[in-house]
Structure formats: C-alpha cells, structure tokens
Amino acid sequence: MCIMRYQILLALCLSWCFLNGGKANASSLTQRDPCSHESLTSATAFYCQFGIRDSALNRFPTYRYLGAVEVYLQTTTTPYIISLTPQYFLDRLAERNSKFLIRNGCITSLKESFHNYQRQLNKLKQLTAALGVSIEAKKKDLTQHKGAGICDWSLIRQMRRTLWKSFRRFKSELSAAYETEVILLAQFIHNPSLFEAVNSLVNLDGSNLPIYVHTRPAFFGSQAILQHLSGMVVMSQQGGLFSSDTPAIRQGHPHFVGHKDALTVIVQVRAPGAILSHEYGHLYYLYHHWEAYTEYMEQMGPRYQVGGHGSGDASGIAAELAEKGEMPDFHMPWSFRKRKAERGQPLITLADE
C-alpha cells in the first residue's frame, strides 16, 4: 500500500554511538556542582565534559539535579528509603517543560509511576503503624503483638509485593526521564542554534508545535534489521496539523505513537548530543519542506530508502549537517509557515487522513 496514503515519515538515524558508563561518586541534592567530582565517569560526566559550567545551561532547571538523581538510581535499592530527590526532579522537569517546546516526553509516565509508588508505600505505612510494627517488620515481630494474626501477616506480604512492583516501575521511569534529560542537555551544548530553531516551531494553524523527546534502551524488539538505528522522528499530518499521534500511526506503527498535535523524537539511551541533533536535522528539514518531500517520496516509490539517507536525499543531508554541529543552509525561516497561516493560504497539498 502506498506510503503516501498515510502521510507518515519515520526518519531513522543511521549512525551509532556508545557511551561508557560507570559508578559515580556520591553527591547530594544540594551539591554545588555535580562536575566538582573529577572521578565521575557515568552519564552525568557525559554532559560535564562538554562544559556544564557554561552559564547558558542555567536556563535548564534540571541540570543541577542530575547528579543527585543519578546517585539515587544507583544507591536506592529498597522502596523504604525516603528521599526528596524524585519529587524535586519532577518539579524541575515540569518547570523545564513549561519553558520549552522541546520537552522531556517521559514526565507523564514518571509522574504516574511515582504517585503510584507513593500510594503503595503510604498504605503499607498505615497498616504497619496500626499493627504497632515497623514497616520492615518480619513475621516473628508481628506475632509478638497482641491481636495480630496470620491474616495480618499475609496482608503485609501482599502489600509489600505490590509496593516492590510499583517501586521497580518507578525507578525504570525515573531512569528513562534522567537519560532523556542528559541527552537534551548534550544536544543543546552540541548545536545550540539548532535547538533554538526547533524550539521555535509553530504548527500549521499558528499554534506552538511541541517536540517530545523519549529515550529507549532498544528500538525495534524482534525487528533485527532495524536494531542498528539510534534515532527516529515520528511525524505526520492530520486535520491540517502536524502530529505524531494519528489513526494511521496507531494502526501501522503502534510502538511509535507519539503526541497529538506535536512531534516525537525517539533516541537510543546514552546517545550523544550529535545523534539527537541528527534527528532534529531530519525534523527541521521535513517541517519546512513537507509537501515537497512527500512528493519526492511518491516519485521515488520502491526506490525510496526508508530513513531519508538515500543518495541525494535532502532530509538525510540536513541531518548530517546537523550532526556535524552545523545548521542546514537550505531551509525556510520558521516564520514562513506562520506568515502563510496568518494570510489564510493553504499549507497542505495532500488530502488529510
């Protein structure tokens, strides 16, 4: 079936990079600078090496907290340890997402998993307090209290299993949000001009066009032919607007459904800033040349190379320039579409889904 019928572009990054991870020195939530520890070799060190002390990074409310989040993820192995770090990080993520159109796409699932974990922990606290035992009490501790029986111990065990499950889910979501934030910062350092350009896009009706970035440890599961890819842009049109959540995407690419009236970028965990810049290069070119590029895809037919890196493919050229730290020099200014929308000129040459 013709790909243009769905008006879907999944721009795949064909470059690959690894970042060595390691164990970080302990730091605190109120640390002066996470880069003050010279022996940091983990993901936090990744953005430190690019000059975190640059005052421009103060625009990012989260970056001073990344060291604390990393330490929390590495050292917190039980759900009974109470820390302010996750809540502070969530608050800073929300502040960051409110200031930028380029957003951390993991915040919703992180917030849900954190609140569920807190609910389960509070339930267990209330039960053990009512029984007069500690939250980590053993069976023999419970039997020493009058009125406590085998049913109470069974209930505690069941609630603990639920708590541990919610805690593991929360840590997984926190790790994803943390990794995403590290990559967002790395991209900003690598190509700040491209960050500013992508962060200023408007949708076809003149409204803001958010860009949600997600990280994944693996992209395609059993699709081995695609596992070498490090990034993807999910981009389509519906009802005259750019979107990464349309019926066609949900039906044809359920694993890559993004956000309504917004675009989605997915990158491999621990990808450097150059990789996210590469994906932004695809996105920035496609945003400005959508109609021309979809016509190009139709003309190429089966000769079109999925991912936009065929010979002479302008989208791929733009991505390669962005990866090198350059701005694509064959784009229209972002205000072009806004001016056309204000004049009421048609922006879509293909039928909507």
Domain extent listing, the chain: 3-16+194-342
pLDDT at residue number 228: 63
> Burial, 172: exposed, middle or buried (Cβ in 10 Å; 0-12, 13-18, 19+)?
middle
**Nearest alpha carbon to residue 292 among 321, 307, 300, 241:** 300
How many distinct helices (H) and strands (E) make up the chain?
A: 12, 6
**∠ CA 247-258-162, rounded to 5°:** 110
pLDDT at residue number 175: 94
For residue 173, give both structure tokens.
């979501």
**Nearest alpha carbon to residue 163 among 78, 90, 84:** 78
pLDDT at residue number 132: 79
> Burial, 57: exposed, middle or buried (Cβ in 10 Å; 0-12, 13-18, 19+)?
middle
pLDDT at residue number 332: 52
pLDDT at residue number 38: 45
Q: Which residues of 132-154 are buried (b: 16+ CB within 10 A; e: fewer)?
A: ebeeebeeebbeeeeebeeebbe
Contact 268, 275 (CB under 8 A): yes
pLDDT at residue number 305: 74
Give the number of other Cβ atoms within 10 Å of residue 239's Cβ.
12
Rg (CA), the chain: 24
What is the largest distance, in Å, between two alpha-carbon atoms of the chain? 81
| Dist CA 32 CA 11 (whole Å) | 40
| Dist CA 304 CA 313 (whole Å) | 9
Kind and range of the H or E run holding 262: none
| Dist CA 346 CA 349 (whole Å) | 8
Beta bridge partners of 263: 211
For residue 329, give both structure tokens.
């020099």
Q: Which residues of 265-275 are buried (b: 16+ CB within 10 A; e: fewer)?
A: bbbbbbbbbbb
pLDDT at residue number 334: 46
In order along its 353 residues, the chain shows pLDDT tens digits of: 444 433 445 444 333 332 223 323 332 233 344 444 444 445 455 555 544 444 566 677 787 788 888 889 999 999 998 889 999 999 999 998 898 999 999 999 999 999 999 999 999 999 888 887 788 877 776 666 655 555 677 888 899 999 999 999 999 999 999 999 989 988 988 888 899 999 989 998 888 999 999 988 876 555 565 566 778 888 888 888 999 888 888 887 777 888 899 999 999 888 888 899 999 999 999 898 888 888 888 888 878 777 777 777 888 888 889 999 888 765 555 455 555 555 544 333 222 22
| Dist CA 68 CA 28 (whole Å) | 5
pLDDT at residue number 138: 79
Query: Residues near 181 by Cβ (< 8 Å), separated by ≥ 6?
Result: 62, 63, 66, 93, 96, 104
Instruction: Work out whether the CA dihedral 69, 136, 160, 138 comes out positive or negative.
Output: positive
> Burial, 37: exposed, middle or buried (Cβ in 10 Å; 0-12, 13-18, 19+)?
middle
Contact 337, 207 (CB under 8 A): no
Give the number of other Cβ atoms within 10 Å of residue 38's Cβ.
9
Side chain identity, residue 298: E
